[in-house]
Structure 1
Amino acid sequence: MKQILLILALLLAPLAAAAQEETVVAGLSQNEVSITANFNGSEILIFGAVERYTPVPEGNPLEVIITIEGPDRPVTVRRMDRRYGIWMNTEAVEVDAAPTFYAVATTNPFREVISDTEDLRHRISIPRAIRAVGTETEHQRDFTDAVIRIRTNEDLYQVLEGAVTLRNETLFNTSFRMPANLVEGDYTARIFLTRGREVVSSYETAITVRKVGLERMIYTLAHERPLVYGLLSLAIAIAAGWLASAVFRYIRMGG
């Protein structure tokens, strides 16, 4: 039995070494994004190198795909149609896992750097990153497309073909513009190396997006102490109304 295991190990060793011929060594300009009261977006630079133990393979050029994905949230998308002279909701689909932010950057056009099978396996493109469940409908794809269209217009979904710079099949870099309307949470950056439209290596790291300062205090109060938050909001509204009324009376008396 030991001899059989030894033979299998010797046979599989070359395959394991081949699988590690190219690996990613990467870094980020920042691993944490702080959302403050005057936050208007942030830029993240992702850079790295390809570590290899054999000469650069010939034939299929190396390609790089880099993604940043925000936390998933459920979304209900409704279709409105005109019925009996009025507009009403006629269909709905629950998108069970839609990233709040998703950006994908590539060295070349997306379909030239990865096959559909590999895209499905790793969930790299935006449609693959979204899962729709719930109500079955022949127009389900239309609902998913609606989510993508809305969030693309809000700069929350980005497709940046050709935005990754690759030098000598070794050094690569790109940058992502994170919009001001980011959702707080844990984000994931992924890097894929492909040859012949097949993934040969991947790398993953985390990015933290957190509210800080006054934004953090208000967010925590609203979610952890909703009664206190409500009473405080009411008190501020009453005080603001009284102050506005006092100023108005002062102006009238002065006139």
Structure 2
Amino acid sequence: MLLLTLALPANAQTRVEGFEIGLSSDTVTVGSSFGSSRLVVFGALDNADQRVLRQGRYDIVVVLEGPRRDVVIRERDRFLGVWINRGSEDFNRLAQSYALASTRPLRDIAPASVLRQLTIGAQNEVLRAQQSVESSEGQVDAYAAAMLRLKTQSGLYTESIGTVEFVSQTLFRAALVLSPDLPVGRHLLRAYLFREGQLIRERSDEIWVRKTGFDNEVSVFAANYGVLYGLMAVLLAVVTGWFGRLLFRRD
């Protein structure tokens, strides 16, 4: 009985790993000359298991989600020379941009069910926002596939596998690819720590994306004087069309 009593404190001690993330700045500025770039996130493991460290079984996934809004995607078909709508699908609060970085391919980090539950991965983000309940869980139908393809082709949805690297035994850095068309506003940064396929900890932080230079002036003017901005846009289109007609007129 004495041996059992003495052993209880040792067995009761459980390891609770943690980690922290940090950014050099909580604001990202974009302008007319802004091209694709990278956002670097630094982090450190706390109370890590030395055995798991030696085996390289800790995994990090970092995600930057853009502002959310409702989106409708429509299927169009040509009928008797006219384009008509064949159907549509609603996507509720879809992230306008989605950048992911991970230590390894997601399928090697955690089971598909866990990734889907945590909405990790561009495909899972699209499926989460999809309103239709007709398709099976995790199935990508034509509308979801089209939305994912459009977002990926535009560069707004990116997945950078292997860009989270451990620079020392417990320190790591993640490089996220940012689109030149990154939407302005509040972005949410999420970081996940996995150990041997299981989620251990999650951290989050906010990043604000703002425009600079001429782009910022136009954006502010359009927001404050919407009607005047619209009239000026129409006038510019009319003048441009008239000038083009004069330039290419055949006598």
**Into which bin does the TM-score normalised by the smaller protein fall?**
0.7 to 0.9
**Percent identity between the two aligned chains:** 24
Query: After the TM superposition, which of the residue ranges 66-75 and 136-145 deviates more from structure 2?
Result: 136-145
Residue 43 (str. 1) matches residue 41 (str. 2): no
Aligned to 1:56: 50
Going from structure 1 to structure 2, the CA distance change for 1:55 and 1:86 (only over 3 Å counts) comes to closer
Equivalent positions of 1:243-254 (< 5 A) are none
The aligned residue for residue 149 of structure 1 is 149
Moved more, 66-75 or 217-226: 217-226
Does structure 2 conserve the Cα–Cα contact (< 8 Å) formed by 1:25 and 1:50?
yes
Alignment of 1:79-90 (within 5 A): 79-83=75-79, 87-90=83-86
Instruction: Output the TM-score relative to the length of structure 2.
Output: 0.77
- Which amino acid is the alignment partner of residue 189 of structure 1? L
RMSD (CA atoms)? 3.2
Q: 1:165 to 1:145 in 2, by over 3 A?
A: same
Question: Unaligned 5+ residue runs, structure 1?
Answer: 1-10, 249-255
Q: 1:89 to 1:109 in 2, by over 3 A?
A: same
User: AA paired with 1:158?
Assistant: T
Query: Are residues 1:226 and 2:220 paired?
Result: no
SS state of the match for residue 133, structure 1?
coil
Question: Is the contact between residue 99 and residue 178 of structure 2 (CA under 8 Å) also seen in structure 1?
Answer: no
Q: Is the 8 A contact 1:44 1:175 kept in 2?
A: yes
More displaced 10-residue stretch of structure 1: 218-227 or 181-190: 218-227
Tell me by how many angstroms 1:229 deviates: 1.7
Q: Distance in 1 between matches of 2:169 and 2:149?
A: 34
Alignment of 1:1-255 (within 5 A): 18=15, 21-52=16-47, 55-58=49-52, 61-83=57-79, 87-130=83-126, 131-133=129-131, 141-167=141-167, 169-233=169-233
Query: Matched residues in 2 for 1:136 and 1:85: separation?
Result: 32
- How many residue pairs end up in the alignment? 229
Q: Please tell me whether the aligned partners of residues 41 and 177 of structure 1 are also in contact (alpha carbons under 8 angstroms).
A: yes
Aligned AA (1:129): E
> In the superposition, relative to structure 1, how do residues 77 and 160 fare at CA in structure 2: closer, same or farther (>3 Å)?
same
Comparing 56-65 with 78-87, greater Cα deviation is found at 78-87
Give the distance between the partners of 2:196 and 2:79, measured in 1 at CA: 51
SS at match of 2:107: helix
Once residues 44 and 238 of structure 1 are traced to their aligned partners in structure 2, the CA distance between those partners, rounded to angstroms, is 41
Which secondary structure does the structure 2 equivalent of 1:37 belong to? Answer: coil
Highest Rg: 1 or 2? 1
